[in-house]
Chain A
Amino acid sequence: MTLLNDLPVQKKLHFAMLLTSSFALLVACSVFLAVEYFGYRRNLVQTVTTLARIMADNSTASLAFDDPAAARQTLKALEAEPQIVVAILYRNDGHILAHYATHPVENPGRPGAAGVRFENGQVVAVQPVIEDTQRLGTLYLVASQDAMLARVRSQFWVALAILILATTLAALLAAVLGRTLARPIMELDKTVDAVTARQDYSLRAHQYGDDEMGRLTAAFNGMLATMQQSVGALRESEQRFRVLADHAPVLIWLTDEHGRHLWHNQRWLDFTGRPQATEAGEGWANGLHPEDREWTLRLFHAASETRKEFQLEYRLRRHDGEYRWMMSRGLPRLGEGAAFTGFIGSSIDVTDFKLAERAVAEARDRAIAASRAKDNFLAALSHELRTPLTPVLLLASEEAHNPRLPPEVRHDFEMIAKNIALEARLIDDLLDLTRITRGKLVLEQRPADAHAILQDALNTVDPDFRERRINLQVTMAAPRHRVLGDPVRLQQVFWNVLKNAAKFTPMNGRVTVETHVADRNRLLVRVTDSGIGLTPAELERIFEAFAQGEHADTAAGHQFGGLGLGLAISERLVQLHGGVIRASSAGRGQGATFEIELPLDRSGGEPVALPAVQPAAASVPAGGKFS
């Protein structure tokens, strides 16, 4: 059967048909012969039996009256039956009354039991001779099978001839039919071979008919069409990838699952100035900086083990011999069934970026150092400037009220005291700002009544409003007004904002101060003036240090000097209290509004230390002192 497996289908069909038909013919012939043989045999037995009965019946009188001649006459009738070769009529005492034989034969002695039997290839019939009920003797008949066998034999030859003829015809038919039946299969086979050999998916198998083979062929052709499409799409996609990869502004490479480089895009080859062939495998590593080569390769191997995305920077020799810093990034490639097939990676030249980054870092370090030096200088300077002012201010204030001095002198001293106070406050502001910038400012945190603090600030600024005849309206409407913070610093904030309002509001102007509770737990203090207002550009920089509005020099506020530190300090202080300060204005000449939002105290009333702020050292003099 394994031999049969390797035969071509055509031969198989041929053999199958031939075997089937031959077997059927053989069985038919055998059955025919067997039926013939047994039919003849049955006929012979029947004939012999009938003859025996007739002969026996006709022999009764011969036996009864002991007439051998009559008996012989009776038996002589058997000449008409050539297959009967022997007939013997026995008397009851075993003696022979008469016999008949086509050729002399041996006397069997005794006839044996009644019935028909086969003996030595002959049919032997033993028939009792009975008249009425009397047994008169026995008839012994022998029939030859020769005639029957001769007929069967001749039929055997005829059957054999038919068998051979029919088998030959069947073989011819099977050959023709087998070729016809196998044709679609051969066609498919041929097409498969051609497609495999030439990788040409545009080939098609010719379809014969619309039977199962025809449908199979159609399905196969359909598969080929699909293959043609997908192969075309694949080629196109690959083409696109190559074009994309070769024209991408980065270097692109592919590795196998062991981290060995398989392919590089044109840009990589242009960058290194080496051909694809020498870059493959670990050849590309020859272009690495000697210091980077070993650990870079180790990292590639490690990445192939973990099969995870990785990133590294190494120095790669450019075609002009210069080593350039490359930032490389590898992404695992997953094939069918999410199997790891290697990495796809990109590399970019980050040398310029690294240099720029270094320059920026150096510049920043220098700037930080310079800033620190400036702060230190400012702190030292302020302190050195501020310290001598205190005794001068004390002395000038004292002399200004000295009744023993003439009024002109007292007036001069008053002027001196006023200007020194101004200068001291400016220096204090500078010191504050420096402290805040250096993180040296320490706030006290305790519950305080914001209304009381606001009132103190108003009291302090009140002379300015009076002097400029400004209409001040105060509405403290907030039902809850206890906040958590440093009362001295909060007063400084309010003072700064009020002072600012007074400063930029013209004579007979109007300033409104009101308080509310906003968002349930925030205290809102709003100060609105009818002053010169702010332009959008000014609004943007209003809380920056040293950023006075352009009007500062021209307006009446000039007398306050004006380094523009007050609002900057105020903003930092409010932020340190967890609050917000906002400025808004409809524009030049439209007045301005400042809003300060502070979180309301929701605790019991005991002083609570906020974690971010150290308990106040209370060594800093409040700004309000110097007004």
Chain B
Amino acid sequence: MTHRPTLAACRLLRFVGRVLVFAACVASVRAAPVTREYDLKAVFLYNFAMFVEWPKEARPPPGKPLVIGILGRDPFGRVLEDVVAGEVLGGNSLAVRRYTTPEAAAECHILYISESETPHLPQILAFLHGKPVLTVADMAHFAESGAIITFSTGTRVQLHINKAAAEAAGLNISSKLLRVAIMVEPSSPP
């Protein structure tokens, strides 16, 4: 039979429990964005690979790495490499590549468009539109970037997903990912 403590002990336990749960929640949410915003984003970039399905022809063949690319100035340093090092997803290892031109970047699977490329963003996105590349942008000041996934940073890193863009790219985004993200209206391409 279930052990039933006395009423007083019950109340004490409830109070202590509440305190602990609250503290834990606060600690876990707060730590990442304030101290290591780009560490978290690096992990997120890696995590996208788990929830996104590429069209058959774009999928990396076995033995070839799934490529995470960075266009423009690299804000991650070695962090992204550390995150993907040794990881294997769906039978593929992961690789990090840096690009300077959108043309070169079209070969990768996930492309982070750095803040440095913001002025050229419409051109870049226009070029990559319809290509099986998951474009990820950092938009601190705009509601949306036009990229498939946009990071917005408030108290925590929030995801915005442009579903129309994803569909245009032939990418299938898991509903689980959609559930934790904010859907945005597709922006008209420039």
- For A106, give its contact among B20, B177, B180 (CB under 8 Å): B20
**Quick check: is A510 within 8 A (CB to CB) of the other chain?**
no
**Quick check: is B78 within 8 A (CB to CB) of the other chain?**
no
**Quick check: is A95 within 8 A (CB to CB) of the other chain?**
yes
CB of B2 within 8 A of CB of A122, answer yes
**Quick check: is B6 within 8 A (CB to CB) of the other chain?**
no
**Interface 9-mer from A62-70, A168-176, A363-371:** A62-70
Q: If the complex has contacts A104-B14, A132-B90, are A68 and B44 also in contact, measured as CB distance less than 8 A?
A: no
Among B15, B176, B177, the one with the most A-chain Cβ atoms within 10 Å of its Cβ is B176
CB-CB contacts of B24-49 with A at 8 A, as 1s and 0s?
11011100100000001000100100
CB of B1 within 8 A of CB of A149, answer yes
- For A67, give its contact among B16, B17, B180 (CB under 8 Å): B180
**Quick check: is B3 within 8 A (CB to CB) of the other chain?**
yes
CB of B32 within 8 A of CB of A134, answer no
- For A65, give its contact among B25, B44, B90 (CB under 8 Å): B44
Q: If the complex has contacts A58-B176, A60-B176, A62-B180, are A105 and B17 also in contact, measured as CB distance less than 8 A?
A: yes
- For A107, give its contact among B24, B51, B88 (CB under 8 Å): B24
Among B27, B50, B159, the one with the most A-chain Cβ atoms within 10 Å of its Cβ is B50
Q: How large is the interface on A (under 10, 10 to 19, 20 to 34, 35 or more residues)?
A: 35 or more
The distance from the CB of B60 to the nearest CB of chain A, in whole angstroms, is 14
> Which residues of chain A come closer than 8 Å to B15, judged between CB atoms?
104
> Which residues of chain B come closer than 8 Å to A57, judged between CB atoms?
176
* 8 A Cβ contacts from A91-126 to B: 91, 93, 95-99, 101, 103-107, 120-122
Cα–Cα, bound, A104→B47 (Å): 33
- For B89, give its contact among A68, A133, A145 (CB under 8 Å): A133
CB of A133 within 8 A of CB of B14, answer no
Cα–Cα, bound, A104→B157 (Å): 29
Cα–Cα, bound, A66→B16 (Å): 25
Which residue of the partner chain A has the closest CB to B13?
Answer: A106
**Quick check: is B179 within 8 A (CB to CB) of the other chain?**
yes
CB of B51 within 8 A of CB of A131, answer yes
CB of B2 within 8 A of CB of A68, answer no
CB of B50 within 8 A of CB of A131, answer yes
CB of A65 within 8 A of CB of B24, answer no
Which residue of the partner chain A has the closest CB to B33?
Answer: A66
**Quick check: is B172 within 8 A (CB to CB) of the other chain?**
no
> Which residues of chain B come closer than 8 Å to A70, judged between CB atoms?
179-180
**Quick check: is B8 within 8 A (CB to CB) of the other chain?**
no
CB of A61 within 8 A of CB of B21, answer no
**Quick check: is B187 within 8 A (CB to CB) of the other chain?**
no
Which residue of the partner chain A has the closest CB to B159?
Answer: A65
**Quick check: is B141 within 8 A (CB to CB) of the other chain?**
no
CB of B157 within 8 A of CB of A66, answer yes
Report the interface size for chain B: residues with CB under 8 A from the other chain. Answer: 35
CB of B51 within 8 A of CB of A61, answer yes
CB of B13 within 8 A of CB of A105, answer yes
**Quick check: is B174 within 8 A (CB to CB) of the other chain?**
yes
Cα–Cα, bound, A445→B88 (Å): 161
Which residue of the partner chain A has the closest CB to B178?
Answer: A61
**Quick check: is B156 within 8 A (CB to CB) of the other chain?**
yes
The distance from the CB of A149 to the nearest CB of chain B, in whole angstroms, is 7
Q: If the complex has contacts A132-B89, A132-B90, A145-B2, are A64 and B17 also in contact, measured as CB distance less than 8 A?
A: no
**Quick check: is B56 within 8 A (CB to CB) of the other chain?**
no
**Quick check: is A276 within 8 A (CB to CB) of the other chain?**
no
- For A105, give its contact among B3, B14, B27, B29 (CB under 8 Å): B14
CB-CB contacts of A67-95 with B at 8 A, as 1s and 0s?
11010000000000000000000010101
> Which residues of chain B come closer than 8 Å to A62, judged between CB atoms?
179-180
Cα–Cα, bound, A145→B3 (Å): 11
**Quick check: is A236 within 8 A (CB to CB) of the other chain?**
no
CB of B24 within 8 A of CB of A96, answer yes
> Which residues of chain B come closer than 8 Å to A132, judged between CB atoms?
50, 89-90
Which residue of the partner chain A has the closest CB to B91?
Answer: A133
Cα–Cα, bound, A134→B27 (Å): 23
* 8 A Cβ contacts from B43-69 to A: 44, 47, 50-51
- For B40, give its contact among A66, A105, A144 (CB under 8 Å): A66
- For A146, give its contact among B2, B3, B13 (CB under 8 Å): B2
> Which residues of chain A come closer than 8 Å to B50, judged between CB atoms?
60, 64, 131-132, 134
> Which residues of chain B come closer than 8 Å to A106, judged between CB atoms?
13, 16-17, 20
> Which residues of chain B come closer than 8 Å to A95, judged between CB atoms?
24, 27-28
CB of B21 within 8 A of CB of A107, answer yes
- For B47, give its contact among A65, A101, A133 (CB under 8 Å): A65
Which residue of the partner chain B has the closest CB to A103?
Answer: B14
Cα–Cα, bound, A67→B154 (Å): 13
Cα–Cα, bound, A65→B182 (Å): 12
Cα–Cα, bound, A93→B181 (Å): 23
> Which residues of chain B come closer than 8 Å to A104, judged between CB atoms?
13-15, 17-18, 21
CB of B177 within 8 A of CB of A61, answer yes
The distance from the CB of B178 to the nearest CB of chain A, in whole angstroms, is 8
CB-CB contacts of B99-125 with A at 8 A, as 1s and 0s?
000000000000000000000000000
- For A98, give its contact among B25, B47, B174, B176 (CB under 8 Å): B25
Which residue of the partner chain B has the closest CB to A57?
Answer: B176
CB of B20 within 8 A of CB of A107, answer yes
Q: List 12 A-B contacts (CB under 8 A).
A: A57-B176, A61-B51, A61-B176, A65-B159, A66-B28, A96-B25, A99-B25, A104-B15, A131-B50, A131-B51, A134-B87, A145-B2
**Which 9 pairs show the lowest CB-CB distances between chains A and B?**
A121-B2, A104-B14, A95-B28, A61-B176, A96-B24, A64-B47, A67-B180, A107-B20, A70-B180
Q: A96-B21, A97-B28 are in contact. List 17 more A-B contacts (CB 8 A).
A: A61-B176, A64-B51, A65-B157, A65-B159, A66-B157, A91-B28, A96-B25, A103-B14, A104-B14, A105-B14, A106-B16, A106-B17, A120-B2, A121-B2, A122-B2, A131-B51, A134-B50
Q: Which residues of B contact A (CB under 8 A)?
A: 1-3, 13-18, 20-21, 24-25, 27-29, 32, 40, 44, 47, 50-51, 87-90, 156-157, 159, 174, 176-177, 179-181
